[in-house]
Structure 1
């Protein structure tokens, strides 16, 4: 029996002994081991880091991507350097929070 099976076995035994009903069923949800929001395994933690780094990268370069698409869409939009810096800071904040929260267990 691996660590995940032991954890979910204890979780289910806890809810069986309590008089409360389960707030929601975990089977088939994204929080079970191997699911998308699995924070109990190495793959889940690595996924959180990857998504956070992607958010930082996307926030940093979103203005350059949109500037390349503007001539194709027929728009003339000028973006100032301060606006680009603000988007980079926002991407860094969102990505850093995602990485930090992804590592909490």
Structure 2
């Protein structure tokens, strides 16, 4: 999911023009790697790339978010942090959510985080 989101933002905000085929292949590679790891199979041919956090452009905010879910307890959380272009934290939130699903938790954090960033 993140790779698709990253490709979308690259196209929308930086004019990146990676083909959908290239992005799809990378997503499939990442999914296959995840499945191997989940089965306990370690692969020497991992898809690797250096990820480095960058502040947003001047006048923008950057929202980093995550929705978490505990399947056994049927509870989740909405966690996010907002930074400005000077790398300063504008807001940080970690809120528990009861009686939710993983999908609901992940979707909620996007809505809650975007609303907070808009304010």
Shared fold (TM-score greater than 0.5)?
Answer: no
Give the number of the structure whose residues are more often strand, by fraction: 2
Scaled by the length of structure 2, the TM-score of the pair is 0.28
Q: Answer 1 or 2: higher relative contact order, Cα 8 Å, separation at least 6.
A: 1
Q: Counting helix residues as a fraction of each chain, which structure ranks higher? A: 1
* TM-score of the pair, normalised by structure 1: 0.31
Task: Specify the structure having the higher radius of gyration (Cα).
Answer: 1
